[in-house]
Amino acid sequence: MALDYKATSQAIIDGVGGADNIASATHCMTRLRLVLNDEGKANDDAVKAIKGVKSVIKQGGQYQVVIGNEVSNLFKEFKTMGNFGGDGAAAEKKPEKKNIQWLFGYIAGCLTPLLPAMLGTGMIKVLLTLITAIPALGVTAESPTYQMFYSLSDAFFYFLPILLGWSIAKKTGGSAPLYMTIGAALCYPTLVTMMGGEMAGVTYGTLWGMPCAFMFGVVPVLLTTYTSSVLPMLLMIPFMKWAEDFADKISPNVLKAFMKPMVFFLICFPLLMCIIGPIGGVLGTLLAKGMSWLYSTVPWLTVGVLSALMPFIVMTGMHYALLPLFTLNLATLGYDVVVLVTMFCSNIAQGGAAFGVAAKTKDEELRSEGLACGISATVAGVTEPAMYGINLRFVKPMIAAVIAAGTSGLLAGLTQVRGYTMGGSPSFLSLITFIGGDKPYHGVIWGAICGVLSVVLSFVITLFLYKDEKADAAAGDGAGEPALAMAGAGAAAAAADFEAHVAAGKEEGIKTVKSVAAKPAAAKPAVEVDSPLNGEMIPLADVPDEVFAGGILGEGVAILPSDGNVYAPCDGVVSMLMDSKHAVSLVADNGAEILIHVGLETVSLEGKPFEYKVTEDQEVKKGDLLLVADLQAIRDAGCKTYTPVVITNSDDYVNIKPAAYGPVKPGDRILDIE
């Protein structure tokens, strides 16, 4: 599309309320990103009607005008029309709306960096349990070898406040040594002894019927155990951030080296000990006791209902709220059912339903997709392909999965299946994490039974409910009404997400039916596009970004990467690179324009997690390394790693056909372009 960049830029400026209403501007691979002084002055309909504008997105405090591959050329003209905050520098974002989902995501962002240590030490505990259960090995719980390794395995939870100090600093941009010192104080042996009420010479008293000590001789400090605690440090996040900024502001440069940390500690530690710590300790104890009571009183409610609802909890992001409770349960109760068991039952059921579709369908491509999705869910615990690519797509398999998960969860609750450590995404491979307790193998045996029940039941129910109507499935006929029925059953949030998938499915079906009639005859040779990444291939409609999911930029697929190496998917030329290094645009030898966009909203990271291995206009061969991305750094920054692979000139082709969804690696075909 040939654009008059000057006219288009001026039209956009007029549409958003004039140059004076633009606080700053930048661009990414496909979007002009504006921060407006007053979004109320922008006329969305007028902007969308401008030639060259594909859509308007308002997200993260930015007014995003979707242009496509020509945005970099347009921006060169756009930036000359006003003082918009620099030569493509990242625009200053307005504060993100602080809703409950944001809060859960923020908390999860503080806990996620700790998962590798949690997984490793947890599995060490499992190995110790296995070793001591085999008498022939001669290792007992009293042996030096056992004690040494148990110290390692238990250290993560015991010193959890210190590790949280590090991850919180990483998430907030604060000083890790300062935050870690606050956490370390909670684990200091003398303080632990005093807070346990066992220190000689300390005068103890009571406050509201609870034992306490006194700071400064008059300020009561409730006696609480802080080792293995989660909530006190999480509750301290805003106070530590404010205290650090305040200490930095009031400390003269010549004294800042010691005055800033001193002021920080003088503010944070009394606040933690006298107010925030006791609140967190009491809340943590109440939550743990409440969950223990609920689990022991009505296990079917705790595990059965949560297992049935887990797909919708995950889809709406509410599973983030379970992470602190899960960590708290492991630290205080020694086991967890809220996450480990319920997600186990749910994940297995998702896979069983996908297997049911594969067994029932006559469509070879769908059968292959169903098998891959089922294996991914039951063996690896990765349910997104099954959930979005199969079960929600056809609705009835999702109903089967919910019924099966609830039933197996009911049995797991009644037989007291518990998870004793974190061992990756819950699946059949994670059964080993159910080893523990007074009867170490009780949970494994009954967990395996529950898993088999879940997969078999969801498989059988899917065989009965699912109808293999190939023509109707391709066009998406009748899929909207079941989605609304699901919403009426109590999953409104999930239904909204599902309708987006159905809409995308319908659009895909319409394009398939109309492809020959609506598109010009193929004038270019066919090309096969390989996966640029290791990971899981999913439908583009499943990407949580309406520009990509809606096909606004073109047809394609998306990949959930397992590593950060991005390779050329075909022979071609590098047509565009970004200062933010988060995306690559290629022109294939047949003229197909391919956009590989690593992560969502990763333009805001200013290139830090990325490194290009090619230059613009460089000829590349299939399999050449294009860029390297630090996936963990992307996640730690709060961004998602979904990587869309889009054919931005899709209208030039008769058909763009995705290969089977599921696990892929570089060299596996993901798209056929004709």
Catalytic residues: 28, 597
Q: What residue has token string 């930095």?
A: 248
> Across the strands, what pairs with 596?
584, 645
User: Please, where are the H alpha helices in 70-143?
Assistant: 71-78, 100-111, 115-132
DSSP type of residue 334: S
User: Please, where are the H alpha helices in 424-576?
Assistant: 442-465, 470-475, 480-488, 492-518, 546-549
Q: What residue has token string 């009748």?
A: 478
What is the Cα–Cα distance from 10 to 5, expressed in whole angstroms?
Answer: 8
Q: Choose among 400, 352, 347, 656: nearest CA to 528.
A: 656
What is the Cα–Cα distance from 671 to 674, expressed in whole angstroms?
Answer: 10
Query: Residue 279 corresponds to which tokens in the numbers above?
Result: 């609140």
First to last CA, the chain: 21
What is the Cα–Cα distance from 143 to 149, expressed in whole angstroms?
Answer: 10
> Across the strands, what pairs with 671?
529, 658
- The DSSP-derived string for 186-211 is HH-HHHHHHHTT--TTPPPEEETTEE
Q: Taking the CA of residue 55 as centre, how many other CA atoms within 13 Å lie in the half-sphere pointing to its CB?
A: 15
Query: Residue 576 corresponds to which tokens in the numbers above?
Result: 């565009």
What are the DSSP E strand ranges found in 572-652? 572-577, 583-588, 593-597, 610-612, 619-620, 625-629, 643-647
Residue 182 CB burial class (10 angstroms; 0-12, 13-18, ≥19): buried
Strands 535-539 and 662-664: antiparallel
Residues belonging to the chain: 674
Computed over its alpha carbons, how large is the radius of gyration of the chain? Answer: 28
What is the Cα–Cα distance from 256 to 229, expressed in whole angstroms?
Answer: 31
For 439, other C-beta atoms within 10 Å of its C-beta total 11
What is the Cα–Cα distance from 547 to 525, expressed in whole angstroms?
Answer: 28
Q: How far is CA 53 from CA 67, 218, 437, 505, 576, in A?
A: 5, 66, 61, 24, 19
* 3 state SS of 535: strand
Q: Which residues contact 490 (CB under 8 A, 6 or more apart)?
A: none
